[in-house]
Amino acid sequence: MKQFEIPAFYRSPIISKVKARRKLDDPRKQDFSPTRLQFSKVEFIIARHFGFCYGVENAIEKSYKAIQDNPEKRIYLLSQMIHNPDVNEDLLAQGIKFLQTPAGEQLIPFSELTSNDIVIIPAFGTTVTIAEEIRATGANIDSYNTTCPFVEKVWNRSQKLGETDHTIIIHGKYDHEETRATFSHSNQTAPSLVIKNMIEAEFLGEIMNGKKSTAEFYTYFEGKYSPGFSPELHLNKIGVVNQTTMLASETQEITDYLRSVLIQKYGETEIKSHMADTRDTLCYATNDNQSSTYALSETAPDLAIVVGGYNSSNTTHLVEIMEKTIPTFFVKGADELVSINLVRSFNIHDKTIEEREFLPSNKGLKIAITSGASCPDAIVDRVMMRILELLQEPCTIEEAMERATF
């Protein structure tokens, strides 16, 4: 696995040691059981996999390399590099400017770009149209393109499916940068449709089996299908791909459901002619992080803390997994841990910050810890250190590491 050169302040004294030990003991990543870090007053139960993935580290490395290599040039990011406020704020502090918001709202007109400028494409990628518009200005968008290779893998798979006359069903959030980019690329070669969840998949299934009308399709999926999309023509041979940060289990559930609809319509013996096997498009990091979070939830902790940016899709799905069975706090960093009795936690359902009671008074407190793929390990470290500070923990990090269970 490639070792990336990223700024030292993204590294951490605690988590880096934990991850190094786990990598040594389990190089093939077959053990998803968490690490247990035992202090006197608290035990941290740390997920096996979390934090920066390959695509994020690649994006950060290329972004800082662009800064180092081009001190005299103007450098722009198309939009947020990744969905983490600390990473984006540091890049802004380095002099980089954003051209757009994550929603696609223009901050700086592309017309202001020149052939001497550099534009960094974020890890999510971008649409075909936007790439063409920026290239037309003469700005360099190729030298530091940080599009995640696993996102590009989805694009390539979509192209091949289109070449074999499959319609592309994209499991994703239509307004997310990555899904907008994937939709833009897939509809170059294939009819394409974005569905967000099982509710929308089931509606689509009723279109496919004739229980709902074509008119209902166009109304329900308005703005989510490619030009010229015909339910009668384009739902008889499909392949499902996904926004790489969605719940992998939900993507599989949607795929299995749509497969069952097609089997009902055409029969088991004909299914290969009507549905492609697209399991190879699921992102390994998403799978590993989510599998590790399921394993974390089975340890029966007193509470869970998920660290990451509030607009991070993959982090939100980790919260969804944990909060089903455990009191879960979603924080962007240590500053949200106000006191031993109070934490500012993000509510993923109504998109608000809630002030909630925090640490219970019971002895032998067990706290599950994980973070999103765009969250630096150093931020997780600071969250843990803040908890130790609030508890007035007498045990040192070194002592806890000595008796850690990996």
Tell me the average pLDDT of the chain: 94
183: closest CA among 238, 135, 232, 241? Answer: 241
User: Per residue in 272-311, pLDDT tens?
Assistant: 999 999 887 778 888 899 999 999 999 999 999 999 999 9
The SS3 call for residue 49 is coil
Query: What element of type H or E holds 216?
Result: helix 214-220
Beta-strand pair 118-120/75-77: parallel
Q: Is residue 343 part of a domain?
A: yes
Average confidence (pLDDT) over 234-246: 95
Q: State whether 248 and 300 are in the same domain.
A: no
Beta-strand pair 75-77/42-46: unpaired
Q: Is residue 1 part of a domain?
A: no
Per-residue model confidence (pLDDT) at position 3: 62
> Rounded CA gap, 382 and 14, in Å?
9
For the chain, the domain total comes to: 3
Q: State whether 36 and 108 are in the same domain.
A: no
Lowest-confidence pick of 88-92, 162-166, 234-238:
88-92
Q: State whether 31 and 79 are in the same domain.
A: no
Which residue in the list 43, 178, 323, 336 is annotated as catalytic?
Answer: 178
> Rounded CA gap, 188 and 190, in Å?
6
**270 catalytic, yes or no?**
no
> Rounded CA gap, 4 and 153, in Å?
21
User: Per residue in 201-237, pLDDT tens?
Assistant: 999 999 999 999 999 999 999 999 999 999 999 999 9
209 in Cβ contact with 156 (< 8 Å): no
**Tokens representing 404?**
């850690």
Q: State whether 381 and 340 are in the same domain.
A: yes
Residue type, 308: G
Q: State whether 194 and 131 are in the same domain.
A: no
User: Per residue in 361-398, pLDDT tens?
Assistant: 777 899 999 999 989 999 999 999 999 999 999 999 99
**Tokens representing 112?**
């202001």
Per-residue model confidence (pLDDT) at position 314: 92
CATH number at residue 261: 3.40.1010.20
Rg of the Cα atoms in the chain: 23
Helices 248-266 and 284-297 pack at an angle, to 10 degrees, of: 110
CATH number at residue 77: 3.40.50.11270
> Rounded CA gap, 117 and 126, in Å?
18
* Domain membership of residue 207 as a residue range: 149-282
Q: State whether 64 and 108 are in the same domain.
A: yes
Lowest-confidence pick of 40-44, 244-248, 255-259, 267-271:
244-248
> Rounded CA gap, 28 and 288, in Å?
12
Average confidence (pLDDT) over 124-131: 96
User: Per residue in 350-359, pLDDT tens?
Assistant: 999 999 999 9
Q: Is residue 142 part of a domain?
A: no
Q: Is residue 347 part of a domain?
A: yes
Q: Which residues pair with 241 in a beta bridge?
A: 170
Q: Which of 108, 136, 164 is the last residue of a domain?
A: 136
Q: State whether 228 and 171 are in the same domain.
A: yes
Q: Is the pLDDT of residue 57 over 60?
A: yes
Q: Is residue 310 part of a domain?
A: yes
Q: Which residues pair with 369 in a beta bridge?
A: 46, 305
Residue type, 202: E
Q: State whether 91 and 195 are in the same domain.
A: no
257: closest CA among 199, 202, 193? Answer: 202
Q: Is residue 84 part of a domain?
A: yes
Q: Is residue 144 part of a domain?
A: no
Cα dist. 287→114, 151, 216, 296 in Å?
41, 14, 34, 14
Q: Is the pLDDT of residue 1 over 60?
A: no
> Rounded CA gap, 114 and 122, in Å?
19
Q: Could you count the other beta carbons within 10 Å of the beta carbon of residue 297? A: 22
**Tokens representing 119?**
């534009």
Q: Which of 90, 109, 136 is the last residue of a domain?
A: 136
Q: State whether 155 and 272 are in the same domain.
A: yes
The DSSP line for 267-299 is -GGGGGGTB---GGGS-HHHHHHHHHHHHHHTT
| CA 167 to the chain's CA centroid | 24
User: Per residue in 338-353, pLDDT tens?
Assistant: 999 999 999 999 999 9
| CA 196 to the chain's CA centroid | 15
> Rounded CA gap, 102 and 21, in Å?
36
Lowest-confidence pick of 61-70, 128-137, 345-354:
61-70
Q: State whether 110 and 178 are in the same domain.
A: no
Q: State whether 306 and 370 are in the same domain.
A: yes
81: closest CA among 132, 156, 145? Answer: 145
Residue type, 161: L
Q: Is the pLDDT of residue 10 over 90?
A: no
Q: Which of 232, 256, 282 is the last residue of a domain?
A: 282
Q: State whether 394 and 316 are in the same domain.
A: yes
Q: Is residue 165 part of a domain?
A: yes
The SS3 call for residue 25 is helix
Per-residue model confidence (pLDDT) at position 281: 77
Cα dist. 318→108, 163, 183, 199, 304 in Å?
34, 35, 25, 20, 11
